[in-house]
Structure 1
Amino acid sequence: MLPKVRMPDTRKMITLEVLATARRSAGFTTITLGGPELDQFKPSGDDQTVRLFFPREGQDRLTMPTLSNEAWMAQVLMMPKTRRPWVRNYTIRRARPERGEIDIDFALHGDAPASTWAQHAKPGDPAGIFDMGVTYLPPARASWQLLVGEESAVPAILAILENAPTTLIAEVFLEVPETADIQHDFRAPEGVRVHWLPRERADTLPGELALQTVRNAQLPPEPFYTWVAGEAKLPTGLRRHLVNERGIPKADIAFFGYWRHGRSSPG
């Protein structure tokens, strides 16, 4: 089943540069991007996702695709690796259009290309974005919401909460590597309960703790909407549990596998 996505009316490839970096904890860092072309980007809030382009090691500049349609990926893959950029999906954590800035939070995973770039990025370094729309699309009939993710989905869920109406009622389960990775500088409506789940143990795979915790949780009986993302086994496992053991309609569950443990993303 293809995920539901609200795409922007118009979009184009946008080249920016790093304005600032801030290490939040051992597991997270924030990169602030900006530049003249950002006035062509329309922030839409919630889990607004962009393709993030950044140079490979050894490249002295960023080569962006010239096509602002679905043919852009083919164009990238046809580039020789000497010019081909890395491409990954990331959520806009915060946008400040009046200042020409956007923040992207990175969950740091070892020596993965994006983690390595984020940890070494400095002001003036080039980066590019391409708007991929929003997947958080709760139906009006939902009495409350269930939001679940491990560290790779924490920025998206916190962005959802900060853009949510004050009437939102939600149970939120956020798994992070360590207690030090718990974040406190975000806003959430009063009806939202956030459960932080530090793994602490290195032998526990990302998403396992969140999945088991929600399986064992006492959830309100009223109809609800679920948005879950992260390592592939978490969203697929939670969807299976909700449908088979709690009788939740599939249409009320939005689930997204951001990555797979032990496998690198293409591009």
Structure 2
Amino acid sequence: MAKIPRLMPEAPRLFRARVLRSVRHTPSVQRVTVTGDDLHEFPFLGFDHWFRLFVPRPDQDAFRMPDLDGRRWWPSFLAIPEDVRPHCANYTVAAFRPEVGELDVDFVVHCDADGEPEGRAAIWACGARPGDELAMLDQGCIFDCPDDAGEVVVAAEETGLPAVVGIAASLPRDAVGRIIQEVPTAADVRVLDAPVGVTVTWIVRADTEHDVPGRAALAELQRYVPADDRGYAFVVGESRLATEGRRHLHRAGLPKTRITFSGFWKHDARQVVPA
């Protein structure tokens, strides 16, 4: 398999954009399409290309975002007065159309007992209107498959679905492996552009209040045994899926250096975990 480099830009660039449209893409996903004067220059790498998303807080009457360039953006961001500081969250490119300067962002929508969306980013996405301002700080990819990997295994729940979609479409067409993707409902299942040698397993959970996202994907992953120690694994989503998935794969024979894992959020806290 050809080498797929892990790449974070040396000088991350901030892209300013505005909402073009916001629609319910599937029962559990709100898709926001954004555009901008320079968005056609976004250096899209495919795979799990992600970025820091900045959107206004609910109580803000205007979006105020200073320029943030370079790797040391965090101190500058924290220096913004809290009452005007935008909300920041990590998201993956769901689709990119450079010819028209459009980028899609998928937001998983969890609702409370009254059916209202929870979480600042999801609330913003569901209420986004054409012309609303936002900003994105490019962060590159974390998918890092070695060039000698004999097989690749990818596991995620719905928060990792945009990454899985991008990885499936970007893998070399001769790649061999397994994709395990958990979603809340059957209507959230999609057709992945995966190589013919990559088996795709969709797991639809009952999604009741007692079902924890990621547990079903973890159970399926724990039944997987790597063919040898030269494979590569990418496990993302709810924190336990990422950490327990990595633990299983390492015990099953994969070196830790061949496992990329990231807990995007914690179920008991319902909050995004900084990458």
Deviation at 1:261, TM superposition (A): 1.5
Deviation, structure 1 residue 204? 1.6
Contact 1:149–1:229 under 8 Å retained in 2: yes
SS at match of 2:216: helix
Aligned to 2:165: 158
Deviation at 1:71, TM superposition (A): 3.2
Q: In 1, are the aligned partners of 2:68 and 2:77 still within 8 Å (CA)?
A: no
Question: 1:100-132: per-residue Cα shift (whole Å, max 9, x none)?
Answer: 111111112331011111111121111110011
Alpha-carbon distance, 1:69 to partner: 2.0
Relative to structure 1, the CA distance from residue 201 to residue 12 in structure 2 (aligned partners, 3 Å threshold; closer, same or farther) is closer
Q: CA deviation at 1:79?
A: 2.2
Indicate if the aligned counterparts of 1:150 and 1:230 stay in contact, CA closer than 8 A.
yes
* Aligned counterparts of 1:182 and 1:92: Cα–Cα separation in 2: 18
Matching of residue 176 in structure 1 with residue 183 in structure 2: yes
TM-superposed deviation, 1:218:
5.6
| Aligned residue number for residue 247 of structure 1 | 253
Gaps of 5+ in 1: none
Q: Structure 2: any 5+ residue segments left out of the alignment? A: 112-117
Report the TM-score, using the length of structure 1 for normalisation: 0.91
* Alignment CA distance shift 1:121-1:256 (3 Å): same
- 1:84-99 aligned at under 5 Å gives the runs 84-99=85-100
Equivalent position SS for 1:99: coil
* Alpha-carbon distance in structure 1 between the residues aligned to 2:266 and 2:178: 25
Cα distance change of structure 1 residues 100 and 70 upon mapping to structure 2, 3 Å threshold: same
CA distance in structure 2 between the aligned counterparts of 1:192 and 1:266, rounded to whole angstroms = 29
- Contact 1:13–1:65 under 8 Å retained in 2: no
Give the secondary-structure state (helix, strand or coil) at the position aligned to 1:92: strand
How far did residue 266 of structure 1 move?
7.6
Match of 1:48 in 2: 49
The match for 1:120 is 127
Establish whether residue 66 from structure 1 lines up as the match of residue 74 from structure 2: no
Give the CA deviation at 1:60: 2.2
What residue in structure 2 maps to residue 23 of structure 1?
24
3-state SS of paired residue (1:122): coil
Q: Which runs of 4+ in 1 moved over 6 A?
A: none
Residue in structure 2 matched with residue 231 of structure 1 by the alignment? 238
SS at match of 2:222: helix
The 1:149/1:266 distance shift into structure 2, 3 A limit, reads closer
Letter aligned with residue 68 of structure 1: D
Could you tell me which residue of structure 1 aligns to residue 114 of structure 2? none
Residue 172 of structure 1, CA deviation: 0.3
Distance 1:37 1:62, change over 3 A: farther
Shift of 1:137: 1.1
**In structure 1, distance between residues paired with 2:145 and 2:128:** 35
Q: What does residue 207 of structure 1 align with?
A: 214
Aligned identity (percent) is 34
Task: Name the amino acid aligned to 2:164.
Answer: I
Is 1:8 aligned to residue 9 of structure 2?
yes
The answer (yes or no) to whether the contact 2:30–2:107 under 8 Å persists in 1 is yes
For residue 29 of structure 2, what is the amino acid of its counterpart?
F
Please state how far the C-alpha of 1:77 moved relative to its aligned partner: 2.1
Q: Cα offset for 1:11? A: 3.0
